[in-house]
Structure 1
């Protein structure tokens, strides 16, 4: 029997249906893999991006945003991690720094660590109970679990603050490095994956580690630099058996973190269930290496090569399991090299901070000038920059005078700006492109009236807030300048159309983007960021998944 031609209206329906199917977004991924590389600045990414050959090369085939911003001034690990999967600035996450002071805390120690529950006592006064209790907003994993209890939310890092600030409050399994192995939340037992990984780490620590071979492209960075009593720039990560500190400050730390993440994927069948799962992996070795050796020596070159392979191995593992996954990679903050090397490279203004700006000598100098007696310490702060708190014993007239002295610090050649809490409260939340934000805007994005200091001191560009280098701590971050604020943002999923967008975006854009990708409806007011369209072609706009 001959086939009859389709009526024109039916043919039109078929064509329309085919076009709609072609333009429709793919189904939500079964696993979100959120990767944070601690201290991975946009500058470091730009320097090495053409040399990556494994995981970081693959991720550049997706959506590349080379000018992502941690917009706030307090460019530290805890605030930065708190923005990535919450979609809001530290002013709203409440994570204003790695450490802050609560002068009303009901304990002798007033310094509060961002990832501790200070209301819980420990047997050891030097220890603490790790917790996400200070995170004031939900993460993507929290939101997905609230929407569908079948979602599994897993986080792993070498730092508790990295794992907890990305995982949030409702975490099925969470692990971080402690002493010489991985630990978890108080009251929880280590799962089989963590037990197995700790056994593997113990076996590795039982042997010496030979010096790593230096790749040919690292030869240009292989130059000894004297930073105080420390010599940096020529390290190869050799280690004696049992040296857990050198294990941590090396590519071995990232490899162990990835290995544990892979074990957890297999143990929990992540990405194979009825709902989208979230796996947060924070790689900390780049930060440890940057602090110990700076960002431009042979050590960092070796770390960049190793990180690339480690991420590639993790992605290959997920591929082998047949998981439909989407990846986002970014950083909590950037970093700055040791000033001694920078000065040799033509940046003479790079310098170490004046020790007189540290809270103890600064407080004593101000007390002497104002003739304030028997109030010690006058100032509380975690270092020579950032938030400063005034002693509550000060009388109103004394307090006003001390604030005036602190405001006058702006005349110091190493100080760029000083803002009082009163000024920051009155300032509107920053808007527009983060590259154009003023120093006030950057400080405002870190300011939370419940936790921030009475004064915020911002050091000038190229001033490293380490007066004297020490083993493991020669360089750092934490400034309001773009070398600490700018980070890469890379999104990848199998089959997506790759593109590069050079215009500035923010890490607070990640959570709304991923929420749209998995079809999770979240009121716009709950995010500071915006959804980024990850498809260069038609059909996969941010709004379609959550209508």
Structure 2
């Protein structure tokens, strides 16, 4: 009798194993792509032992702890375009959050495409995906399977729009005030596209108006990280919760109104995602659906407070908890689901706190002072009597050469002389890791056989080059150097650089019943889109830079046709 029971048990276990493996390799009905803005590999690993909910479960699947953004200008818009397309910025055309448009004679934001418009926001140049030069995984799916639905929802427009692609059924972003917005061909079209979130928006607006959230400790252990950090000019950054209200900008009156905390952006984004799943019945149709989610809170914390204080500690604890609730909802759907998690870029801590902890090479460069220094040197070196270098406000890493009137310099020979002089002078400055002219980057070959962690600084910057958008001169700073002004409560830290602190992020794949695997070999973030494409059985549209990673349990999913 015991032998017969044992036989039945063994047969049952074998059947369970076969069924589980087949389910894991089956095409999912719902693919969820989550990007956690500024979630560096260092941040992911630093808190990994403290995860209790969503991040703990998502980390129990297939984990690539070292996925690299291979390009050099690591910014939100560029990173989300890489995630969704499998291509570097030198193909996507999305080289940064903004760049100088010589035709317009001013900076151009990455979603100001002059083609589409928002449902509620008023933007002179409109808003939409028109500047994205390639297609996304959502576009590939819509072309192969018209019945499939593709949605994106995020705390930022650039995150939602880049991950949503050119053909989404809806791309929604939180406006930071009262609700979610979207884009369309016309205002009426955009308002129609906003319909799925209209009921959610109404409740959200009322909720914010009646009881704006206050940032107190969710995880009281984070209080041990509180500190008073001396800043230049006699300023002090009081790192604690609730945070101090930011001082008024020049010409503005002081405010006593509470500011929506960064974690609230993640809360409402995940709630909006749940609302979309329910109203659109995602995952319950005959075809596979995609939902991309951009969580922006971590990036907001990093920029304003740095990555090592009580603010980030509490943000990660809240994020873990919110993702736990989200996963419970996903499991309750009862449909085959695949979740992929990564980040658009990494980041580091503020240099003042790094100095307090014994990092002597951590320093802050005042961007306007650096620009003035370079302009003075170039004027003397080239023999001109105007400041020829222009940068976006507080961003001296991308320098455009202009004439006396502030327009792009038309004299090609002089422009080349100024670019060469600028790059040569910049390389001699403390804290500058490298400087390249546009001509050098355009001619720089990148060996595709190199692993992501083997690329030189020049390789990385070349992958961020796109004609007519990349500046005349591009600069990189040392890993622990930040060129950001001191605005406590508003801005203390940037992350646009090619160091591993900024480009190394986690990449996770999870589904119910997945067998846990830690894969330490470095991979590229460009590999994410072709991997998901193979998993759902669609082909990328044209050449892409990434390659498929086999995450199947019983078959090589990369071999699927």
Aligned equivalent of 1:406 = 422
Deviation, structure 1 residue 308 = 0.6
**What is residue 8 of structure 2 aligned with on the other side?**
none
Name the counterpart of 2:308.
296
TM-aligned CA deviation for residue 66 of structure 1:
0.5
Change (3 A) 1:441 1:215: same
Q: Report the secondary structure of 1:517's partner residue.
A: helix
Q: Is the aligned partner of 1:113 residue 2:109?
A: yes
Q: Which residue is equivalent to 2:183?
A: 185
Which residue matches 1:137?
Answer: 134
Question: 3-state DSSP class of the match of 1:318?
Answer: helix
1:450 equivalent in alignment to 2:497:
no
Residue 481 (str. 1) matches residue 509 (str. 2): no
Cα shift readout 1:246-266 (whole Å, capped 9, x = no counterpart): 21x421111001001100100
Match of 1:495 among 513, 516, 519: 513
Task: Give the Cα separation in 2 of the matches to 1:155 and 1:37.
Answer: 14
Cross-structure match for 1:465: 483
TM (norm. structure 2) is: 0.86
Residues 494-531 of structure 1 show CA distances to partners (whole Å, capped at 9, x for unaligned) of: 122220011111110001110111111337x6221111
Hey, what does 2:242 align to over in structure 1? 236
Output the CA distance in 2 between the equivalents of 1:269 and 1:500: 33
1:346–1:19 Cα change, 3 Å: closer
**Cα 1:179–1:219, aligned 2, differ >3 Å: closer, same or farther?**
closer
What is the distance in 2 between the residues matched to 1:52 and 1:284?
19
Structure-2 change in CA distance of 1:359 and 1:118 (3 Å):
farther
| 1:33-81 alpha-carbon deviations (Å, 9 max, x no partner) | 0000001000100110111111111111110000011111101000001
- For 1:145-544, list aligned pairs within 5 A: 145-180=142-177, 181-186=179-184, 187=187, 188-189=190-191, 190-213=194-217, 215-228=219-232, 229=235, 231-236=237-242, 246-247=259-260, 249-355=261-367, 358-359=370-371, 362-373=374-385, 378-381=389-392, 383-391=394-402, 392-393=408-409, 395-408=411-424, 409-431=426-448, 432-522=450-540, 526-535=543-552, 537=553, 539-544=554-559
2: CA distance, partners of 1:125 / 1:110? 18
Deviations for 1:14-44, whole angstroms, at most 9, x for unmatched residues? xxxx999997673200011000000100010
- Tell whether the 8 Å contact from 1:205 to 1:243 is kept in structure 2 after alignment: no
Q: How far does residue 464 in structure 1 lie from its aligned partner after superposition?
A: 0.6
- Is the contact made by 1:477 and 1:484 (CA closer than 8 Å) also made in structure 2? yes
Gaps of 5+ in 1: 1-17
Aligned counterparts of 2:128 and 2:117: Cα–Cα separation in 1: 13
Partner Cα separation in structure 2 for residue 378 and residue 238 of structure 1: 36
**Greater Cα shift, 87-96 or 471-480:** 471-480
Alignment check: 8 A CA contact 1:458 1:479 kept: yes
- Confirm or deny: 8 A CA contact 2:367 2:396 kept in the other structure: no
Match of 1:4 in 2: none
Match of 2:506, SS state, is strand
- TM-aligned CA distance change 1:370 to 1:22, over 3 Å: closer
> Deviation digits for residues 80-134 of structure 1, max 9, x if unmatched?
01111211111111101111112123xxx52111011246799998754111111
Q: Are the equivalent residues in 2 in contact too, given 1:90–1:448 (CA < 8 A)?
A: yes
When residues 53 and 327 of structure 1 are mapped into structure 2, their CA distance, relative to the original with a 3 A threshold, is: same
CA contact (8 A) 1:430 1:442 kept: no
What is the match of residue 96 of structure 1?
Answer: 95
- List per-residue Cα deviations over 1:402-426 (Å, max 9, x = no partner): 1232122101112111111221122
Structure 2 stretches lacking a partner, 5+ long:
1-15, 247-254, 403-407
CA distance in 1, matches of 2:512, 2:532: 15
Counterparts in 2 of 1:317 and 1:125: CA distance versus 1, 3 Å: closer
Q: CA deviation at 1:397?
A: 4.2
The more displaced of 179-188 and 118-127 is: 118-127
TM, length-normalised to structure 1? 0.88
Q: Report the Cα distance in structure 2 between the residues aligned to 1:164 and 1:22, rounded to whole angstroms.
A: 35
Asked whether the equivalents of residues 509 and 531 of structure 1 are also in contact (C-alpha less than 8 Å), the reply is yes
Question: In 2, distance between residues paired with 1:263 and 1:121?
Answer: 24
Residues 471, 340 of structure 1: alpha-carbon distance in 2 compared, 3 angstrom cutoff: same
- Residues 121 and 301 of structure 1: CA distance in aligned 2, closer, same or farther (over 3 Å): closer
Query: What CA deviation, in whole Å up to 9, does each residue of 1:342-377 have, x standing for no partner?
Result: 10011121111144565466335423543323x565
1:80 maps to what in 2? 79
Task: Measure, in 1, the Cα distance between the counterparts of 2:309 and 2:348.
Answer: 12
The alignment partner of 1:50 has SS state of helix
Quick one: structure 1 residues 101 and 194, their matched pair in 2 at CA, closer, same or farther if it must change by over 3 Å? same
SS at match of 2:560: helix
Q: Is the 8 A contact 1:157 1:282 kept in 2?
A: yes
1:8 corresponds in structure 2 to none
**CA distance in structure 1 between the aligned counterparts of 2:79 and 2:121, rounded to whole angstroms:** 29
Q: For 2:126 and 2:228, locate their aligned partners in 1 and report how far apart those are by CA, in whole Å.
A: 40
Q: Would the alpha carbon gap of residues 21 and 473 (structure 1) be closer, same or farther in structure 2, given more than 3 Å must change?
A: closer
| Greater CA drift, 202-211 or 114-123 | 114-123
Report the aligned-residue RMSD.
2.8
> Does the 8 Å contact 1:89/1:528 carry over to 2?
yes
